[in-house]
Amino acid sequence: MDREYAKYLLEKTRQDYNLIADEFSVTRKEIWPELVFLFDNYLAEGEKILDLGCGNGRWLELFRKKKVDYIGVDFSERLIEIAKRNYPQTKFQTADVLNLPFPSDYFDKIYNIAVLHHIPSEELRRQSLEEAKRILKPGGVLILTVWKFHDKKKLPLLFKYTILKLIGKSGLDFKDVLEPWGKKTKRYYHCFSKKELIDLVREAGFKIKKSGIIKNKKGNRQNIYLIAEK
């Protein structure tokens, strides 16, 4: 993907989340129980934690339970406004995932939940991972999830953008789609495979400690997860 087009899509994604922030927050009020183990099993009291792509702050209660030193960041100003309103005593701020406002070797752990698939181009995704690695302490841990493409109803969308790519009428990469949010906008989304995600995180300099697929009880919500060490 052309770098300038990728930067345009990243800025579009920020604007899209500002546009749909209130509606999006309504759909993200509840903690998804199938992801709770990522917090219960990997957090330790007193650790310095970055919630990278915190959205409206919905995971905060799981962090609070472990009594960690928490900072939440997101590139959507509107989502950060909502997070601050919901949790006024908590540290939230807007930040650029490609240029994070923290010193090197600063955090014990970074949580990157459902963010990477919204970053366009392999180049920018790798850059975001390298930036996360920079601000992790030696031996620090990245806990990362992306959506797993599994819904057969979305296959026509993937087929559409594959054909457009093949005939030269799309600047997107293969396995990229623009997914409609009602009639308001179309969000950029990259359809990761587990192997692709593992390879990318390794290329960014991390050691993969654990990986897998997480499903909810109905099986209609699936995520790929990685535990990676600096």
CATH number at residue 79: 3.40.50.150
Kindly state the tokens that stand for 210.
Answer: 């654990």
CA distances from 166 to 6, 9, 84 (A): 18, 20, 44
d(CA 45, CA 211): 24
pLDDT on residue 11: 97
Indicate whether 179 belongs to any domain.
no
d(CA 52, CA 123): 19
Rg (CA), the chain: 17
pLDDT on residue 140: 98
pLDDT on residue 57: 95
Cα dihedral 185, 148, 3, 15 in deg (nearest 10) = 30
| Domain interval for residue 138 | 3-149+192-229
Indicate whether 111 belongs to any domain.
yes
Indicate whether 173 belongs to any domain.
no
pLDDT on residue 155: 87
Q: Are 192 and 198 in contact (CB under 8 A)?
A: no
Indicate whether 161 belongs to any domain.
no
pLDDT on residue 153: 74
Indicate whether 182 belongs to any domain.
no
pLDDT on residue 217: 87
As for how many domains the chain has, the answer is: 1
Indicate whether 157 belongs to any domain.
no
Indicate whether 96 belongs to any domain.
yes
pLDDT on residue 175: 95
pLDDT on residue 219: 77
pLDDT in tens, 141-151: 999 999 998 76
pLDDT on residue 44: 94
Q: Are 73 and 50 in contact (CB under 8 A)?
A: yes
Indicate whether 155 belongs to any domain.
no
- Residue ranges of the chain whose pLDDT lies below 50: none
d(CA 142, CA 81): 25
Q: Order of strands across the sheet with 222-229? A: 92-94, 69-74, 48-52, 107-113, 136-147, 222-229, 207-215
